[in-house]
Each structure stands twice: as structure tokens, then as C-alpha cells.
Amino acid sequence: MAYISDGECFIWSRGEQPRKISSTARVRFIQTPLWDKQGQAIYAIAENKIWRIATTDAKATAITTTWNRQIRSIVSRHDGQQIWSPDGESIYVNTSNALTKQEGFYQIDSRTGEFSKAFEADISINSFLSSVSHDDEFLIYAAQNARQELNLWVINRDFSDARQLTHVNPDLERYPAGEARLIDYSTADGKKLQATLLLPVSYQSDRRYPLVVWVYGGSMLSVNINRYGGSGNEHFNLQLLTSRGYAVLLPDTPLAVGTPLQDLAKTVLPGVDRTIEMGIADPDRLGVMGTSYGGYSTLALLVQTTRFKAAVMDVGFGNLSSRYGAMLKSGVPLGLGWAEDGQGRMGGPPWQFPERYVQNSPAFFLNKIETPLLISQGGMDVSPAGAEEIFVGLRRLGKKVVYVRYENEGHGIEHPGNRIDQWNRILAWFASHLSD
């Protein structure tokens, strides 16, 4: 038996104690190891390399070198135990290209470690949903792209003639979807970033379109270019916006500890400028929206710029100190680790960095917001008060704000009827503020 535990790889022979795999350098293995046909060696992934591990001495040897593709998984035979090697010498891996965002399959010569492209396209492959036919002649895999949701596909062993097997939602296929483009841009200090840009259905290059920015701080949303709906969140299919004539921008937003609020403006606004320079976005019809930490990210932008004419915050918050003190019914603190060492990026508790918590909390700068804001919130969320605090403050200031509370929902609107209602409100909100 071969298995991985906490990044360590082990071989366990019957009647013996498990043997930990050794290598020349300490590495962390991923994915379940796969055996060769003879059962004399196993193959595993670590540090973006393929490693061969002999059962005789339990030593790992890298058979590939550093490479410009990310190795996501090794393709196994139908039993999920052995490597798929039709010729007895090759290994096949699922890969992704960080620069172009294309994904596909590469062949590796197990003797030399050399890579050769088998198949690569503008798709996103689910590396956990793949299999090989019993006769080793066909590979079945799950893939999607910006215009088509996840389905099963089949391809010949020579990686020719890829064809779709399933149509999980045939009704949806009747509706056109917007084209996705990968755009490059730079921040004011020269940091190079990318973004996914969804074009409106029936896009015409001689027209400018209203632009909605989907934001989620700390995420590299350019990787979503080949994911249906764009957002990566099943609640928010952003093609609903492209079908109504909007362009949608999903920018990369790397954030530093102690300055997430300021970093959001530094990373998002240059991406907006780039779409305007390309002649796609209308600078007078800009919107922004986000969910959860994306809701915080939306508020962070609104307190720093008045460029957006409409905004939507779903299950969001704006006060990091309040978030820090959130607690589950069981008494477990929800925000402590989140704020100190996690997504909140404060680097410590409020009493250690009080000014940092204030300077990165939009709740203390609501007077600067001029953008009409639609807030949606689940009444059964862990801390709905985070959204209500923003509504109360904006209402006190006389700002244009609408608060919609779905009582039986949690951290995200799940019920189909409520989700339809939420989307109808979002579409109406943007239509009333971003129309010609």
C-alpha cells in the first residue's frame, strides 16, 4: 500500500511497519500515489515535479525538472491505482499554464523526464473528475469554459477528436454567453497583474459598454477566465450580466498584511482604467459588486473613489473590529484567527494594532461613500450585524442604500426563489444606475 499523510509519502508492506519515503530534499507530496504496471515503483507529485519511488529502498527520485506548467494531477487507469501508460513508457499529467490560463494534458517520458504536449485548450479541467476506459483507448474528463458549464468530455488515446459526452443543462445551452478575454495591466508602482474580462453578448468593437467589476480581495481572478459564469461562485453566474449588455471585469487583487483596504484600490482601479483604454468600458457607467470578503472589498473601494455609479454588497461587512469579535453559538471565536493571521490580514489583535483596524475598516469612512449601494444579507448568517452596521450608518448619513434581508438564508442565498429574487434586484439596480 502507498499513501500520503500530511505531505509525507509512505509504503506499507503486509506484515511490516510503514516506511516513510526519503529524498535528497524535504518535499511535500500531493495526490494519491500511483503504481506502475509491475508494482515495483510508485509515482507522486511534489514541488511541481514527478517523483519515482522504488519499493525496494523507498527513495524518491525526481524524474522531471522545474517546468513552466503547473502539474495538477497524474492520469490514472480506470482502477485509480496505476498510472495510465498506453505505451508502457509514458506518464500523462493534467496541467495548467499560469500565463495563458490554458489547461490540458502533457505526456512525460518516464526515462528522460521530457514533456511533450498532448492536448491544451482554453478550458478549465476538473482534475478530480477524469477516468480512462477499461481498454485504455479513451480518456474521459470534466471541463468547462467561459461560455459553457462543466460537462464530461471524451478524447482518444492519441488526444484527437475531443467530443462532449454530457449536457447537464441543455436548456441553458440555448442562451448565448459573453466571450472571455485575458487582459494585462500594471499598478502605479509597476506591479504586473492580469484580469478576466467578460464581453457583452453581441459585443461590437465600436461601442462602449457599462462595466461591472466583480471583486474579491486577495484572489487572482484571472484564473477564472475559463470557468463558466466567471465568478467561481455558483450563486453568481456573471453571464447574466453579459446577456444584458454589461462587460464584467474580474481583476487580480494581491493584498499585503496591514493594508488590504488601500491595496484594493491600487490593484482594482488600474484594471478598470485598462478596460477604458481598450475602448470597451464606458467611464461614466461603472459598477462594482462582491460577496462575503468581496462585499468588504466593494466597500473598501467605495470609501476611496466615487467613480462607481452603483454597487452591490452580498453578505459583506465593513468593520474589522466587529468581525474580530464574532462568535459561533458554540462559543468558538469566528474572527480571531481570520483577522490576525488569515484573510483579514491585520497581523495581530485590535489592541496591538488599533489604528490598523480603523484604517482598514470602511465602516469608519462611510461619509465618503457617494455610490448607491444595494445590500443583501441572510438572516441566519453567523454575523448579519456586519451588513446591518453598514446600512444603519449609510441611512444615518442620508446616503442612497437599500437593505434586503432573506430571513431563512445563511452566508449566501441558497433557495432558488430567493436567488432569483436577488438576481432580479441586482439586475434592476444596475439597470437603473448604469443605463445610457
Q: Using pLDDT thresholds of 50, 70 and 90, give the confidence band for residue 30.
A: confident
Q: Is the pTM above the cut of 0.95?
A: no
Return d(Cα 410, Cα 381) in angstroms, integer. Answer: 4
CATH 2.130.10.10: which residues of the chain?
Answer: 24-164
Q: Residue range 277-295: average pLDDT?
A: 97
Place of cell 461613500: 369
Return d(Cα 352, Cα 348) in angstroms, integer. Answer: 6
Q: What's the pLDDT score for residue 25?
A: 65
CATH 3.40.50.1820: which residues of the chain?
Answer: 176-319+361-434
Return d(Cα 255, Cα 305) in angstroms, integer. Answer: 18
**Residue 260 burial (C-beta neighbours within 10 Å; 0-12, 13-18, 19+):** buried
| CATH number at 24-164 | 2.130.10.10
**Residue 23 burial (C-beta neighbours within 10 Å; 0-12, 13-18, 19+):** middle
Reply yes or no on whether the pLDDT at 334 is more than 90.
Answer: no
Reply yes or no on whether the pLDDT at 233 is more than 80.
Answer: no
Residue 139 near residue 165, CB atoms below 8 Å: no
With CA atoms as reference, report the closest residue to 232 among 223, 241, 240: 223
Q: What is the maximum alpha-carbon separation in the chain?
A: 76
Q: Residue range 282-288: average pLDDT?
A: 98
Pick the CATH number of 176-319+361-434 from 3.40.50.1820, 3.40.50.970, 3.40.50.150, 3.30.565.10: 3.40.50.1820
Phi, psi of 341 (to 5 degrees): -120, -5
Residue 410 amino acid letter: G
Q: Taking each helix axis from N to C terminus, what angle separates 293-302 and 260-277, rounded to the nearest 10 degrees?
A: 70
Instruction: Provide the 10 A C-beta neighbour count for residue 22.
Output: 12
Report pLDDT digits (tens) over 180-227.
Answer: 999 999 999 999 999 999 999 999 999 999 999 999 999 999 999 999
Instruction: Provide the 10 A C-beta neighbour count for residue 72.
Output: 18
